[in-house]
Structure 1
Amino acid sequence: MTDPRSQHPFWMREEIHEQPDAVAAALTDQAEGIARMAAALRAARPRRLFLVGTGTSFHAAQCAAWFARLEHVPLTTMAVPAHDFVTYPIALTSDDAVVVISHRGTKHYTGKALELARAAKVVTGLVTGQGPHEAPAGVVVLRTCHQDRSSAHTVSYTSALAVLMLLLADYADCSDDERLRRVILDLPTQLAAALQTEAVVRELAERYAGRQRVYFVGGGPHAVTASEAALKVKETSYIVSEGFAVEQMLHGPMQAVEASDLVVAVAPSGPSTQRIGDLLNAANEIGAARIAVMSGGESLNADASIQIPPTRESLSPLTSVVALQLFAYWAAVTRGKNPDCFRLDEPRYKRASGRFAL
């Protein structure tokens, strides 16, 4: 990390606020590459598209797969962790295509995933950040934004996800394509509106900073956002934080919730809202604090709410995650942690990181 910071404002907050401009630039600058990749997919006519990534990049892959499902993109789109894609390889055929998501572009398993795809001679793409790293010959490279200066990646996540969404919309090439493209290209406006939640989010992060554990829950694509939010809290506050699909949470994990915990529901308007309501009612009986991230007039049993701008459900993971990135940031600052450094300022964690390579 260049030019490290030791106090607020840390790099993480700056990069959260860069997201509207970064997404706008990525969608504009990569328009030609996106069109080229979409054309290559249409020419190859694959039946399956594998989106491969690790950590936050895997969450981008998962959200993009949900986008394809919700927008009826005529291509079976599956998210696969890079480690599993390499270690338990799929028998790729001419009916397949692969897009690898890796912001750094230098991680071991994402590099191996690219090698497997190229060896199988399938259409292959790489969504990555700006930098000198090169992709193998024959790979369509879509570069998103600068390298995150904070180890808690934010701007690279939303930039990669927006590029993937536009790629899938371009591939679909259906009657609704232009309307969908316009909404995607308007995402920077939506992200800017989501940033306006910061004052509310900061107050809530400070209010609940003493909670023992944080559970994020959502349904459908919002379960992915719940996992990403939990990851950001782990990376920055170093506390127990979990992300669950709402039904999975109700089938066992709910029994671990205590009155000293916080439950955050990622609940923009959608078909899972009612089930989220059931979960919040249960959390209330236990005595846990409850926050709901909402985009409309939903009536949910929460102690507080964060209102994000309404948009298509397939795109709302981008707006809801901005509010939750801010929550993770302010929770870390309130706890006296440096959200940029990946805990490498503590000798034992620095030694631990030397025990493995990414």
Structure 2
Amino acid sequence: MCGIIGIIGKAPVAPLLIEGLKRLEYRGYDSAGLATLVNGHIERRRAEGKIARLEALVGSSPLAGTIGIGHTRWATHGRPSETNAHPHATDRVAVVHNGIIENFQELREELEAAGRRFETETDTEVVAHLLTHLLDQQKTPQQAMGIAMERLKGAFALAVIFAGRSDLMIGARRGSPLAVGYGDGEMYVGSDALALAPFTSRICYLEENDWVVVTSRGGEIYNGAQKVEREIKQTAMTGARVGKGNFRHFMLKEIYEQPAVIGDTLQRYVNPLARTIEMPALPFDFATLPRLTIVACGTAYLAGMVAKYWFEQIARVPVELDIASEFRYREAPLPPGGAALVISQSGETIDTLAALRYARSQGQKILSVLNVPESTIARESDLVLPTLAGPEIGVASTKAFTTQLTVLACLAISAARARGVIDHKREGELSQALLEVPARAAEVLNHDESIRRIAYDIAEARDVLFLGRGTSYPIALEGALKLKEISYIHAEGYAAGEMKHGPIALIDENVPVVVVAPSDELFEKTASNLQEVIARGGRVIFLSDRKGAKKLGGKAAITVALPEVDSFVAPILHAIPVQLLAYHAAVAKGTDVDQPRNLAKSVTVE
């Protein structure tokens, strides 16, 4: 989860940019960089590693300038390096960027044909060259950004400075947050209001597809070609904690961060130019692995359940999945040469740690998917695959879940390639499907208001059923878990085909039934189950894509039509509406959303 800061100041800004980056270091610490204008020319300082190394570099090689941008970053594909560090620049433009430019390869080929020369394989460099190309065509910076916003696809936040323009900065957001700070003759942009807290308490949050032209006198905000007004708010943000921004609860903020953090996570593992997965060297060889054992608790366990489908269907890897709190008590025999995959947000979950230690005692190599790479589980693993969700404050996991799914999807593709069961073409198709998820996730969030209305109806129910098939079955379980966790409504998730084996007896007009059914190869089977529910008076809330909604939407009481995506990535996308459903139901009931009763963020006692 990368961090952005930009400042138009009265004094040299490099020390202030570094101060802001330090407050964003929780978002990424593999590399960092600054760019300022010195006598109208772009000057950069970039360093691999933590911000202290950048600070030392600027100390030994000072950077003047009263306008500048900064960035702290997790490594994308390849090793962290100065070359890959932001800002990326041409002689006319410097850019810092969070997220993914989905169509960067198409734009890169177009720009290369026009004579632009690229130095890296990053998608960010495309933004710098696109803007430079437009400036070379005599466009103003404002005109160039307006055109760029039409050309760029994906989920991103940008901050840009222009050579020769010491009083101009442009920021933009689509699916990734960006705030504008207002000072006295000074202006700021930041991916997190936390970074701006030392400088100003007056903050404006850009909305989806906004871009802002910032000068020392203020900011003009546009959405498309239309100039718009956004409220400037007084914030009490301090360095004491990660703030909620303009969201009512941390949970909602974290739901809305998902396009950005999924994009950050993808950039860690996907080479967008080659459309390949690039994993670090694993402690075992998938090609000869006899069995993969997945253990986790709660929401992380459900991420593992989705992964079981992926590993078995796509990579043909035999998988055993178990709840960590039960796993070691079964004393399961584990095969020689096998591996265990443990999944945890905190990396401190005591049951998962105990399962890891049991697997280790049975000679298994340990691979972990974690959101806290400095945790106990990390230290006891052979290799950690980090999720780049950033701090998750809400007890009910949201962005940690979808970034876990993102890492596991990448790992499944890598396993399939290692086992020779997919070719390069199919790897490219699956990688492309993943790269489209951040933008599609941002589209899903546009349904927030309609889901809120549905949730206020669900809040009146005593019982709610969630149904799904295939990879949608774990999402149904996750929807039920979320609703139970924060609204205290009794909810159950079932494999849709199991309805006839007992749960169908529960259905009447007072039991809402949430059906998760993307239009995949199991859609017709799920459609049959939906009809059975309707025939017994059940009130169906149908979560599908546009194609599925067209087929069956008229039969359900309520339909939410999500974007169409490859069925491989559908569970990542369909996780978001069930999160929103639970959140708004909890708000309607007046519960403590971020700290629900009896629950803790990390379970560290058995």
Q: What's the TM-score once normalised by structure 2's chain length?
A: 0.54
Greater Cα offset, 43-52 or 189-198: 43-52
CA gap of 1:41–1:309, structure 2 versus 1, over 3 A, is farther
CA deviations on 1:61-108 (whole Å, 9 max, x unpaired) are 00011122332x131123221122211132223341111001111111
**Alpha-carbon offset, residue 8 of structure 1:** 6.5
1:299 maps to which residue?
A: 552
Do the aligned partners of residues 143 and 178 (structure 1) sit closer, same or farther apart at CA in structure 2, a change above 3 Å counting? same
Distance 1:271 1:43 in 2: 27
Residue 197 (structure 1) aligned to one of 433, 447, 450 = 447
Q: Which residue in the other structure is 1:311 paired with?
A: 565
Rounded to whole Å, the distance in 2 between the matches of 1:4 and 1:255 is: 45
Quote the Cα distance in structure 2 between the aligned partners of 1:79 and 1:208: 32
Q: Within 5 Å, give how 1:9-158 maps onto structure 2.
A: 9-29=248-268, 35-37=279-281, 39-42=282-285, 45-71=288-314, 73-130=315-372, 132-134=374-376, 135-137=378-380, 139-144=382-387, 145-158=389-402
The answer (yes or no) to whether the contact 1:62–1:78 under 8 Å persists in 2 is no
Secondary structure of the equivalent of 2:279? Answer: helix
2:452 aligned with 1:210, yes or no?
no
For residues 43 and 160 of structure 1, do their structure 2 counterparts lie closer, same or farther at Cα, with a shift above 3 Å needed?
closer
Q: Is the contact made by 1:82 and 1:113 (CA closer than 8 Å) also made in structure 2?
A: yes
Structure 1 residue 148 displacement after superposition = 1.7
RMSD over aligned CA atoms reads 2.6
For 2:461 and 2:595, how far apart are their aligned partners in 1? 23
Residues of 2 paired with 1:48 and 1:166: CA distance?
18
Cα distance in 2 for partners of 1:43, 1:274 equals 34
Shift of residue 250, structure 1, vs aligned partner = 2.1
Maintained 8 Å contact 2:247/2:253: no
Contact 1:34–1:142, Cα closer than 8 Å, also in 2 = no
CA 1:98–1:288 in 2, change beyond 3 Å: closer, same or farther? same
| Displacement after TM superposition at 1:31 (Å) | 6.1
Q: How does 1:260-275 map to 2 (within 5 A)?
A: 260-275=510-525
Structure 1: distance between partners of 2:286 and 2:578: 39
8 A Cα contact 1:68 1:168, kept in partner: yes
Q: Structure 2: how far apart are the matches of 1:112 and 1:44?
A: 28
Distance 1:43 1:260 in 2: 48
Deviations 1:146-183 (A, max 9, x none): 23201110000000110011011112213111221222
Tell me which amino acid in the other structure corresponds to 1:22. V
Per-residue deviation at 1:138? 5.3
Tell me whether 1:239 sits opposite 2:492 in the alignment.
no
Distance in structure 1 (CA, Å) of the matches to 2:440 and 2:290: 32
**How many residues are treated as equivalent by the alignment?**
347
The answer to which structure has the higher helix fraction is 1
Q: Kindly provide the CA deviation profile for residues 81-138 of structure 1, in whole angstroms up to 9, marking residues without a partner as x.
A: 1122211132223341111001111111111122122233332111111253142455
Distance in 2 between the 1:245 and 1:298 partners? 21
Task: Say whether residues 1:322 and 2:576 are aligned partners.
Answer: yes
Structure 1 118/202 Cα, relative in aligned 2: closer, same or farther at 3 Å? same
On the 8 A contact 2:476/2:494 being kept in 1, the answer is: yes
CA distance in 2, matches of 1:138, 1:129: 14
Bigger shift: 98-107 or 334-343?
Answer: 334-343
Look up the SS of the partner of 2:343 in the other structure.
strand
Give the letter for the 1:55 counterpart. G
Q: Deviations over 1:244-286 (max 9, x none)?
A: 0011122111102232110111011123333333333333333
Task: Tell me the SS of whatever aligns to 1:331.
Answer: helix
Q: Which moved more, 1:131-140 or 1:230-239?
A: 131-140
Q: 1:43 to 1:305 in 2, by over 3 A?
A: closer
Which residue identity does 1:130 align to in structure 2? V
**Quick one: which amino acid aligns to residue 591 of structure 2?**
K
- What CA deviation, in whole Å up to 9, does each residue of 1:170-206 have, x standing for no partner? 1221311122122223321222222122122112112
Aligned-residue offset at 1:4: 9.4
2:14 corresponds to: none
Deviation string, structure 1 residues 188-237 (Cα, Å, up to 9, x no partner): 12222221221221121123321221100011111111000000000011
What is aligned with 2:71? none
For the residues of structure 1 that align with 2:604 and 2:407, how far apart are their CA atoms? 31
Q: For 2:580 and 2:460, locate their aligned partners in 1 and report how far apart those are by CA, in whole Å.
A: 17
Greater displacement, 105-114 / 205-214: 205-214
TM-score, with normalisation over the residues of structure 1?
0.89
1: distance between equivalents of 2:403 and 2:333?
30
1:163 aligns with 2:402: no
**Between structures 1 and 2, the one with greater strand share:** 2
Inter-partner Cα distance in structure 2 for 1:58 and 1:325? 16
How far the C-alpha of 1:240 sits from its partner, in A, is: 0.7
Cα deviation, residue 29, structure 1 = 3.3
Match of 1:255 in 2: 505
1:342 — aligned with what? 596
For the pair shown, the structure with the greater C-alpha radius of gyration is 2
Task: Give the CA deviation at 1:18.
Answer: 0.5
Distance 1:47 1:104 in 2: 29
User: 2:492 is matched by which residue type in structure 1?
Assistant: E
**Identity score, percent:** 27
- Distance change >3 Å, CA 338–CA 90, structure 1 → 2: same
Taking a change above 3 Å as real, the CA distance of residues 356 and 92 of structure 1, as seen in their structure-2 partners, is closer
More displaced 10-residue stretch of structure 1: 226-235 or 17-26: 17-26
> Taking structure 1 as reference, are residues 206 and 8 closer, same or farther at Cα in structure 2, changes over 3 Å only?
farther
Deviation at 1:299, TM superposition (A): 1.7
